Amino acid sequence: MVRFAARTGWDLTENHHAKVLAEARATGKALIDLTESNPTRCGLADAGPLVAQLGHPRGGRYEPSSLGHPVARAAVGRYYAERGISVDAGWVVLSASTSEAYGWLFKLLADRGDEILVPAPSYPLLEFLACLEDVTLTPYPLLREEGWRVDLGALERLSGPRTRAVVLVHPNNPTGTFVRRDEADALAAFAAARGLALVVDEVFGDYAHGALPQNRLPSFAGHTGALTFVLSGLSKVVAMPQLKLGWIVVSGPEAIAAEAMKRLEVVADTYLSVSTPVQLALPEILGARVPVQRAILGRVQENMRVLDEVLAAAGGATRRLPVDGGWYAVLAVPRWHDEDGWVELLVREEGVIVHPGYFFDMPAEGFLVVSLLPEPGAFADAARRLAARLSG
Ligand SMILES: Cc1ncc(COP(=O)(O)O)c(C=O)c1O
């Protein structure tokens, strides 16, 4: 009998949500999916011309370079420079996605059984990645009553001898918050004092909903207070997850950052996972981001305006939580039903699919999460049905 590794012994049976959804689909009723966050399915800009760049003959030669092709690393440096952030291309490491970059950083930083502090609430991406690297995730709370500020006291209490890194999603998904500058400095000081690395996921960094207040930090890229890894990639920056290109920007005290680069280079060299055509097309691809981001921000803001309007018209029993950025809205809903109850009711009776708050590890019951990317006609229709149902 073949024995599989225990780390892959997942329970893969269909969960309750999947069953409810399958039943609803089987009735043949049209459903509006407010969990849709795949930008290539939301009727946004035509990606065809950019995808065509991958067919350029320059991609026909294979000259592998572990940290990434110099042309591509320089393009990432320029992307930050255009945002007013100074990043030397020598500190950029390319990967096939942010998810892969997380995996590489866990390999770099943690031995089997070591711990990584992760924010709660946040996007549920890391559980499987951590499991595959045999590391343990320890959630630390973000304080809702303080605008989702990092609970530094809790971080101190939760960090132990086996803690290796603190993950921050910035702006956070789904709460949409950018950290304050003083909070960033305190986090870096905490990490440096404990010998921890900061892993900052900035995939939504270009999607602030307006001018960021002066006291908010736009990016951790280049922050030198602690060993810092900033993650981002084409999934969100140009809304093209199918291109499979992400990156890590390394910074921190010079000697330790240089050591991290040397080790990461070996990790990256082991996989060489980013395709040559996408690397060589990166200058054109990143150069095309402005209209893409403008279209997405326009979509997100228009859908949010409609959502607020219909919620207000429905009497205010359900509120949208404030956000600084991102593609999601969090709704604080009445507690007549628990989150599963609401999700089920909305699918069965209104034909609208939403996420329960607990999917994102919200601190209490009573939240639903919706994507703001869907096509506006369908979104408005679903928002009206939601608002009516969530108001009694
Ligand atoms: C916060 C966050 N990080 C990372 C990812 C995954 O990005 P990638 O496609 O680069 O792996 C997502 C995907 O939605 C995300 O929401």
pLDDT in tens, 297-321: 999 999 999 999 999 999 989 999 9
Query: Is residue 109 over pLDDT 80?
Result: yes
Q: How far is the CA of 39 from the centre of ligand 1 (A)?
A: 12
Residue range(s) occupied by CATH 3.90.1150.10 in the chain: 14-43+290-389
Q: How far is the CA of 105 from the centre of ligand 1 (A)?
A: 15
Query: Is residue 392 over pLDDT 80?
Result: no
Q: How far is the CA of 124 from the centre of ligand 1 (A)?
A: 10
Cα 17 to Cα 58: distance, rounded to the nearest angstrom: 46
Residue 324, SS3? Answer: coil
| Model pLDDT, residue 106 | 98
Nearest to 238 by CA among 178, 284, 303: 284
Compute the average pLDDT of residues 234-251.
98
| Model pLDDT, residue 206 | 98
| Model pLDDT, residue 16 | 84
Domain 56-287 CATH (choose: 3.40.605.10, 3.40.50.300, 3.40.640.10, 3.50.50.60): 3.40.640.10
Superfamily for domain range 14-43+290-389:
Aspartate Aminotransferase, domain 1 (3.90.1150.10)
Nearest to 248 by CA among 82, 139, 99, 125: 99
Cα 178 to Cα 341: distance, rounded to the nearest angstrom: 31
Q: Which residues, at least 6 apart from 31, have a Cβ–Cβ distance to it below 8 Å?
A: 24, 25, 347, 351, 352, 353
Compute the average pLDDT of residues 146-151.
95
Question: 219-228 burial, b for 16+ CB within 10 Å, e for fewer?
Answer: bbbbbebbbb
* Per-residue CA distances from 156 to 140, 227, 229, 333, 381 (Å): 10, 18, 20, 32, 46
Name the band, by pLDDT with cuts 50, 70 and 90, for residue 341.
Answer: very high
| Model pLDDT, residue 17 | 86
Is 371's C-beta closer than 6 angstroms to any atom of ligand 1?
Answer: no
Q: For a pocket test of ligand 1, which of 98, 274, 361, 371 has the largest count of ligand atoms closer than 8 A to its C-beta?
A: 98
pLDDT in tens, 66-85: 999 999 999 999 999 999 99
Is 173's C-beta closer than 6 angstroms to any atom of ligand 1?
Answer: yes
* Per-residue CA distances from 356 to 248, 279, 340, 359 (Å): 31, 37, 6, 6
Cα 317 to Cα 391: distance, rounded to the nearest angstrom: 5
Compute the average pLDDT of residues 262-286.
98
Q: How far is the CA of 335 from the centre of ligand 1 (A)?
A: 30
Q: How far is the CA of 123 from the centre of ligand 1 (A)?
A: 8
Residue range(s) occupied by CATH 3.40.640.10 in the chain: 56-287
Is 201's C-beta closer than 6 angstroms to any atom of ligand 1?
Answer: yes
Compute the average pLDDT of residues 160-182.
97
Rounded mean pLDDT of the chain?
96
Residues of the chain with pLDDT > 70, as a percent, come to 100
Q: For a pocket test of ligand 1, which of 35, 36, 42, 99 has the largest count of ligand atoms closer than 8 A to its C-beta?
A: 99
pLDDT in tens, 5-32: 999 999 999 888 888 899 989 998 899 9
